[in-house]
Amino acid sequence: MKLTEVIVAVAIFLIACTVFSASLINVMRGVDRSEAFSKNAVALLDTDTIIRKEIKKINVPYWKSFDSEFKKEKILLEESLKNIGKDKGFKVESVSSVYDRKRRSEGIKIEWKIYGRKYVCQEFIRQRIVNEE
């Protein structure tokens, strides 16, 4: 009887160790995935903030044509963002102007890529927004 009890106890112990090891491995994988996701999210937010700060540097007074001023500023903005992108690891794909007919406001739309995913950042020029309410 004692040999059977020892064998059953060892079997229960081995099963418990296997379950614990599998659980520990799954927890470690989950932590690694969470950490990678958090790093990507922080990089994404930092990049978006950098792009928005560069857009806000553009100053187009309300009395000037946004289209003509944008053509001048577009080249400088693209070069500036490409230089920053080399250091930060993102790539600007396109820079274009945006017009919101409902609010009669103009802005800049930038399409960029980081970690193989494409994102769009759109910022309206503060000086150009007209509130008709």
Residue 77 has pLDDT above 50, yes or no: yes
In order, the DSSP letters of 41-77 are HHHHHHHHHHHHHHHHT----TTS-HHHHHHHHHHHH
Task: Please give the model's pTM, rounded to 2 decimal places.
Answer: 0.70
**Is residue 14 very low, low, confident or very high in pLDDT (cuts 50, 70, 90)?**
very high
* More confident call, 70 vs 119: 119
- How would you label 75-94 residue by residue, b for 16+ Cβ within 10 Å and e otherwise? eebeeebeebbeeeebebee
CA max distance for the chain: 99
Mean pLDDT of 98-110: 77
* pLDDT confidence of residue 15: 96
